[in-house]
Chains A and B, each alone.
Chain A
C-alpha cells in the first residue's frame, strides 16, 4: 500500500476516501432500495378514548419507526420503533396509539419509516390529525367533554382559547391548575386522583385573560356497578319477580346511570325499585349491571314451589255477630285455590292487637272468636305458603267492623248508709265493653224478703246511685232489705245485681283502725278469714273527712282471698282514706276491719292553735288538734321552738301525736316567743307562734326567804342552847385561866411582854416528823444535852434556830383563801422572846374561821418537795376549822411551784388534829395573808397552856381517815382540849 505508506503523494488519500465513501453510499442506497417506504398512511381517531389508529402499506417490513409530533410547535410526542405485522386480509400495517391529552387539543403530525436493523427507509409523507385549535375553529373550547372516569383516576384537560384572546387559567373548585402550552391557543392540565363527583359532575373551568369569557368541561367521577342480593320469587305461581340490592353508590346518574338486564332482558327502572319481572319462572337468572365504568353480573337459582310469596288478600269483608265474626277475602290469582296457605289475622281493638293464625288450602275466610259485643275492630290478613315457607305476603288493607250489641253486664252494686238512716244504693257505671250497647237506663228494686214487698224505680243511663231512706221501711219486720239493680239496653236487661241493706243500723264504731301503707301497686290490705263470709268480701274506701253521702269506691273480693291491693286513679296525695272491710253473707254486710292511710303523706297544710300561759315560774304551752283535712299525713309529733330573733331554736321534740301541751321551765322573767310545729313523715308544718311575758313569781321568793330565816333562827337557837349547856367547856376552851408560870428561882415579875426562859433542863421543843400529821406535833421536853445531839443530827431541821431553842405559838387567822407561805422565823412577835431564858414560850391567840388548818413547819419536808404550795392551798381550803397554834408553814418561799402529783388533800395538811390550845380571834387580818403565818394578827393573847394534845399514832391514823374536813378537825380538837 504505497499510498498509505507514502506520504509524499498527497493526492492518494482523497482518492481512497472518495472510493470508500462511494462504496458505503452504494451499499446504503442498496439497503434503502430494499426497505419499502410506508405509503398510504391513514389515521383514524377515537376522540373519546383518545386513541389514534395508524395504518399504512409497509411492504414486507415488520419494524417501523413512528414519529408523532405536535404540528404547531413541532414537538415530538412519540418516537419509537415498533414491530407491526401485516394484516393478511387488508395487506396493511396498523398500529394504535393512545394520547395523554385529548386528540382535539392540538394537531398532530404522524410519519413512519421502515426499519431493518440499523437500516431504515425514507420517512413516509406526514399525515396530520387536525386538532380543534385550527384558526378556522376560533371558538373558546375545552376537552374532553363529559368524560366518565373511575374514582382516583387522573384526567388531562385542554383549553383552546378563542382566536385573538389570551389564555387566563384553568380552575377546578376555585383552584388554579398548573398548565402546559400545547400550541398557540391550546393549554393542558391534569387533574390527579379524582374524587367522586356530585350528581351534575365536576366542573373544570377555563378563563381567558382578563376574565371575560368562560368555558369548561364536566367530568363524571364514579364507580362501576356492584349489585348484590339477587332474589327471585313468585306471587302468581307462574311468573318471577326478581329483586336485588343496588350496592354502593356509583355517583353516576341520568344518562350515565347503571342499566340492568336480567337474562339479557333490559329491566325497566324506576327511581326507587330495583326489580325485574319475568313472565315465566326460569329457575336460573343472571343479572348484569352496567354503567360507563364497567359491568357486574349476579346469578340466582331456585325452584318455584320454594319461592312462593302470596299477594296481599284483596276485598276483605266480614260477617259480624255479638261475640264473634267471620272474616272473608279474595285472591287475585286463581292459582291460589289449590295452594296450601297459612294466614295470620291481626285483630286490633282499643289499641290492643292480637294475632290469630289459620291454615287451609286456598284459605279465603276465618272465624274470629272471643270478640266483645258492640266493639270496633280492625283486621288485617297476610298469608304464606304452608309448605316450603318462604316469606309472608303483604298485609291486606285494614278492614273495620263492629260487632253486634248484646244485653248489658250486671252492674257492680254497693251501698252507702248515713247515720240518719238515709243512704244510697250505688253502682259502678258500666264501661263501653260492659254495656254491650247503648245503656238506656237502670232499674232499681227494693225488696223485703220477709214482707215480700218491693218497690221499683227507673233511673237514667248516667245515674250511678239511687237514694234510700230506711224510715220508709220502718214497719218492716225483717232486719234487712234487698236492693237490686238491672241495667238495660236495646238488647234487653242485664242480670240483676243486688246488695243487702240492714234496716237497723247499729252505730258501731269499730274496732281498731289500722294503718294502710301505700306502695307502688296501691294499698295492700290483709285480714283474717271470716268464717261467716259466704260470698266474699267488699273493701270500700272513701276520704276520711267525708261523712255524708260520700263518693265511695269499692272492690269485691272472693271468699277464698284474705288480701287485696287497692288502687284507684282517684287517690290524691295528702288525703286520708278510710278503708273498710265488709264480709258478705246471707245477712247484711258486716264491718270487719278498718284501715286508714295516705297515698302520699304531705306536710300539714295548717298549724295548731297555740296558746302560752304562765304557770308558777314556768310557761305552759297548749295547743289544739289540726283539722283532719289539713293534716295531710299522720301526725307523728310536735316540735317546740323558741324564737331567737329570726331563728328558731328547738326546745323539745314531742314524738307523741297526742301531745297537746308542753311546760317550759327555767326561764327568767322576760318576753318569749314560742313556735310549735306538727310534723308528719313528710316534714313539719309552718308552725304556730305564741308570745308570752314571763313575770317574776313573788310567792315562791317570799316562801324561800321565810324558810331561810326560819332555818337560821333554829340554828341560832340550837347553838345558843348548846353553848348554854356547855358553857363551862366554852369557858375553858375559849377563856381558860392562864396558869402561873413556874420558874426556878425567884423571878420578879415584870410588866411587858412575857419573856420566859425555860429551865435549862426543861426545854420545850416542837418535835415534827414529816410523815406525821400535824396532829402528831407535840411539845416535848428535851434535855439540853440532847439538844446538841439533835441539832447536829438534823442539821437544818426547821426547828427554831434561835439559841436557845425556843418554842413559839402563833395564832393564825385562817380562811379559805390561798395561803401565802411565810418563814416561821419571820414572826416578830416572838422576836422578843428569843432573848429569854432557856425556855421561851410565846402564846399567841389563834383565830378560827369557818375552816381552819394546821400549818406544820417542816423545812426538811419542804426541801424534799413533799409539800408543794398547792398543798398549802389545799390545806387552806380543805383544812377544817378550829384552832391552829404555833405552826410553821412548810413553804419556804412565795414561789408558786407546780402542782404536785400527790393527792390534793395531803393527810398531814388536811388533818386538823394535833396540838390545839389557846384560840383567839382576830378579824383584822389581811385576807392575803390569812393562810400564812401572820405573827402580828391582832393583839396577841398570851396563853399559857400545858395541856398539849399529843395524840398517839392510832388515834392519828383514825383521824386521818375520818377527819377529812377541817370542821371535824376543829371539833375533835375542841373536845380534846376539854379533857381534864
Chain B
C-alpha cells in the first residue's frame, strides 16, 4: 500500500501541468528530485540498517560562499546551480565507488540512484536555462572538487558507507534548497505562487 501511494505521488509529480512556466517546471522538478532523494536515502538505510538510528555530524559537504550578504534571487540561483553541479559530482562518485566496491547491481536502490542522477542532470539544465545570461555561461557537467578528500579521509568500505550516507543527506538538502530558491524565483518572475 505504501509503495502504491508513493508511486501515485511520483506519477502526480511527473504529470505535466498544463502550460506551466519555465520556473514552474523547474520548481516541480526540484520537488521531484527532493522526493526521489528522500526515497533513495530510505532505500539505503534498508540496505545498511545500522544507519537507521545514526545522524552523521560531519556537517555539510558542500558550502557556498556568497559574494554579497544579501544576494539577489538570480545570484542565489547561480549559487544553486553551482551546488547542484557538485551534487552531481558527488552522486557520480558514489555510483562509481559503490560499483567498484560491491559490483554492478540492478536492485531498487541502484535504480533509484540512477533516477536521482538523471533528475539532477535535468534540474541542472533547467537552472542553467533560468540563470544563464549572455555574459555568463553555465556548465552542466559534474563538479568533482569536493568528494575526493572526504572519501579518502573516511577510508575502507565502512568509510564509503558513512560517506555515501552523508552524500545522500546532502542531496536531500540541496534538492530542498533548490525547490525553495526556484520557488522564490518563480514568484518573482511569474507573480504567483501557483506552479
Whether A200 touches B47, Cβ cut-off 8 Å, given contacts A145-B158, A216-B158, A217-B156, is yes
Closest residue on chain B to residue A257 by CB atoms: B103
> B48, B54, B99, B162: which contacts A200 (Cβ < 8 A)?
B48
A211 CB, min distance to chain B CBs, angstroms: 9
Is B104 touching A145 in the complex (CB atoms < 8 A)? no
Cα-based distance from A255 to B155 in the complex (angstroms): 15
Contacts of B101 in A (CB 8 A): 200, 254-255
B1 proximity list for chain A (CB < 8 A): none
Question: Interface code B140-173, partner A: CB below 8 Å = 1, 0 otherwise?
Answer: 0000000000000001111101100000000000
Q: Is A318 an interface residue (CB 8 A)?
A: no
Contact B48 A146 (CB under 8 A): no
- Residues of B in contact, count (CB < 8 Å): 19
B105 touches A200 (CB 8 A): no
| A255 in contact with B158 (CB, 8 Å) | no
Q: What chain A residues lie within 8 Å of B48 (beta carbons)?
A: 200, 203
Check if A200 sits within 8 Å of B161, measured CB to CB.
Answer: yes
Q: Does A218 contact B (CB under 8 A)?
A: yes
Residue of B50, B54, B155, B162 contacting most chain A CB atoms (<10 Å): B50
Interface centre among A205, A213, A215, A218 (most CB of B within 10 A): A218
Cβ-defined contact, A199 with B102, below 8 A? yes
The B contact surface, by secondary structure, is helix
Q: Which residue of the partner chain B has the closest CB to A218?
A: B157
Interface contact A205-B156, CB-CB below 8 Å? no
- Shortest distance in angstroms between A772's beta carbon and chain B's nearest beta carbon? 112
* A201 adjacent to chain B (CB < 8 Å): yes
The closest CB in chain A to the CB of B155 belongs to: A145
Residues of B contacting A257 in the complex (Cβ-Cβ under 8 angstroms): 103
Q: Are A215 and B100 in contact (CB under 8 A)?
A: no
A253 touches B157 (CB 8 A): no
**Contact call A253/B158, Cβ cutoff below 8 A:** no
Of the residues A145, A212, A253, contact of B156 by C-beta under 8 Å: A145
CA distance A215 to B161 in the complex (A): 11
Q: Annotate B40-69 by CB proximity to A: 1 below 8 A, 0 otherwise.
A: 000000011010001001000000000000
Q: Which residues of B contact A220 (CB under 8 A)?
A: 157
A142 contacts partner chain B, Cβ-Cβ < 8 Å: yes
Partner of A146, one of B103, B105, B156: B156
**Among A201, A214, A217, which residue has its beta carbon within 8 angstroms of that of B54?**
A214
Name the one of A203, A213, A216, A254 contacting B99, with C-beta atoms under 8 angstroms. A254
The distance in angstroms between the C-alpha atoms of A201 and B102, with both chains bound, is 9
Q: Which residues of B contact A271 (CB under 8 A)?
A: 103-104
Q: How far is the CB of B193 from chain A (nearest CB, A)?
A: 41
The answer, among B50, B99, B158, for a CB contact under 8 Å with A217, is B158
User: Quick one: closest B residue to A252, CB to CB?
Assistant: B103
Set B47, B103, B155: member contacting A254, Cβ < 8 A: B103
> B186 CB to closest chain A CB, in angstroms?
40
Shortest beta-carbon distance from A203 to chain B in Å: 6
Q: How far is the CB of B55 from chain A (nearest CB, A)?
A: 9
Residue in B54, B99, B158 whose CB lies within 8 Å of A218: B158
**Would you call B102 and A218 a contact (CB within 8 A)?**
no
Chain A residue numbers with a CB within 8 Å of B156 are 145-146, 217-218
A253, B102: Cβ atoms closer than 8 Å: yes
Measured CB to CB, the closest approach of chain B to A757, in angstroms, equals 131
| Contact, CB under 8 Å: B103 / A215 | no
Determine how close the nearest CB of chain A comes to the CB of B7; give it in whole angstroms: 26
A253 to B102, CA, bound (A): 5
Asked whether B157 lies within 8 Å of A146 as measured between CB atoms, the reply is: yes
Task: Please give, as numbers and ranges, the residues of chain A lying within 8 Å of B158 by CB-CB distance.
Answer: 142, 145, 203, 215-218
CA distance A326 to B32 in the complex (A): 58
- Which residue of chain B has the shortest Cβ distance to A219 in the bound complex? B157
Residues of A within 8 A of B (CB-CB), count: 21
Q: Contacts A215-B158, A218-B161: A203 and B50 contacting too (C-beta < 8 A)?
A: yes
Q: Mark A112-156, 1 if CB is under 8 A from B, else 0.
A: 000000000000000000000000000000100110000000000
Given A254-B101, A255-B101, the answer on whether A205 and B50 have CB atoms closer than 8 Å is yes
Known: A145-B157, A146-B157, A218-B157. A255 touches B50 (CB 8 A): no
CA distance A253 to B157 in the complex (A): 12
In the assembled complex, the Cα of A949 lies from the Cα of B157 at a distance in Å of: 144
Contact B103–A199 (Cβ < 8 Å): yes
Q: Which of A418-435 contact B (CB under 8 A)?
A: none
Task: Assess the B157–A200 pair: CB atoms within 8 A.
Answer: yes
Q: Quick one: closest B residue to A213, CB to CB? A: B57
Residues of A within 8 Å of B47, CB to CB, are 200
Q: Closest Cβ of chain B: how far from A87's Cβ, in Å?
A: 36
Measured in the bound complex, the distance between the Cα atoms of B101 and A212 in whole Å is 28
Query: Please, how many angstroms separate the alpha-carbon atoms of A145 and B102 in the complex?
Result: 15
> Please, which residues of chain B bring their CB within 8 A of the CB of A205?
50
Residue contact B105 to A199, C-beta cutoff 8 Å: yes
Task: Establish whether residues A254 and B100, one from each chain, have CB atoms under 8 Å apart when the complex forms.
Answer: yes
Q: How far is the CA of A48 from the CA of B159 in the complex (A)?
A: 17
In the complex the two chains form, what is the Cα distance from A513 to B142 in whole Å? 93
Q: Which residues of B are found within 8 Å of A142, using beta-carbon distances?
A: 158
Separation of A217 and B155 alpha carbons in the complex (Å): 10
Q: Which residues of A contact B102 (CB under 8 A)?
A: 199-200, 253-254
Most buried by A among B101, B105, B157: B157
CA distance A199 to B104 in the complex (A): 11
CB distance from A272 to the nearest CB of B (A): 11
- Cβ-closest chain A residue relative to B106: A271
Q: How far is the CA of A218 from the CA of B157 in the complex (A)?
A: 6
CA distance A744 to B100 in the complex (A): 165
Please, how many angstroms separate the alpha-carbon atoms of A216 and B102 in the complex? 18
Q: Which residues of A contact B159 (CB under 8 A)?
A: 145
A203: chain B residues at CB < 8 Å are 48, 50, 158, 161
Chain B residues with CB under 8 A of A254: 99-103
| Chain A positions within 8 Å of B155 at CB level | 145
Q: Which of B54, B105, B156 has the most C-beta atoms of chain A within 10 angstroms of its own C-beta?
A: B156
Q: How far is the CA of A142 from the CA of B158 in the complex (A)?
A: 10
Determine the residue in chain B with the shortest Cβ distance to A142. B158
Taken together as a complex, chains A and B put the C-alpha atoms of A213 and B101 apart, in Å, by 25
Q: Mark B62-79, 1 if CB is under 8 A from A, else 0.
A: 000000000000000000
Residues of B within 8 A of A218 (CB): 156-158, 161
- Report Cα–Cα, A218/B159, bound state, in Å: 9
Contact with A along B97-121 (1 / 0, CB 8 A): 0011111110000000000000000
The smallest beta-carbon distance between B194 and chain A, in angstroms, is 44
CA distance A205 to B50 in the complex (A): 8
Contact A255 B100 (CB under 8 A): yes
Q: How far is the CA of A199 from the CA of B47 in the complex (A)?
A: 10
Chain A window 599-633, contacts with chain B (Cβ cutoff 8 Å), 1 for yes, 0 for no: 00000000000000000000000000000000000
Q: Which residues of A contact B100 (CB under 8 A)?
A: 254-255
CB atoms of B103 and A253 under 8 A apart:
yes
Distance between Cα atoms of A257 and B102 in the complex (Å):
9
Distance, CA A216 to CA B47, complexed state (A): 16
Q: In the complex, how many angstroms separate the beta carbon of B102 from the nearest chain A beta carbon? A: 4
Q: A155-205: which residues lie under 8 A (CB-CB) from chain B?
A: 199-201, 203, 205
Q: How far is the CA of A218 from the CA of B156 in the complex (A)?
A: 8
**Would B105 and A201 count as touching, CB distance under 8 A?**
no
Instruction: Tell me the complex Cα distance, A213–B193, Å.
Output: 42
Complex A-B: 23 CB contacts under 8 Å: A142-B158, A145-B155, A145-B156, A145-B157, A199-B105, A200-B47, A200-B48, A200-B101, A200-B102, A200-B161, A203-B48, A203-B50, A203-B158, A205-B50, A212-B57, A214-B162, A215-B158, A217-B156, A218-B157, A253-B102, A254-B99, A254-B101, A271-B104
Please give 13 more A-B residue pairs, beta carbons under 8 A apart, in addition to A217-B158, A254-B103: A142-B158, A145-B155, A200-B48, A200-B101, A200-B161, A203-B158, A213-B57, A215-B158, A216-B158, A218-B157, A220-B157, A253-B102, A254-B102
| B-binding residues in A (CB < 8 A) | 142, 145-146, 199-201, 203, 205, 212-218, 220, 253-255, 257, 271
Residues on B lying within 8 angstroms of A by beta carbon are 47-48, 50, 54, 57, 99-105, 155-159, 161-162
Closest 8 CB pairs of A and B: A145-B156, A218-B157, A253-B103, A254-B103, A254-B102, A216-B158, A254-B101, A218-B158
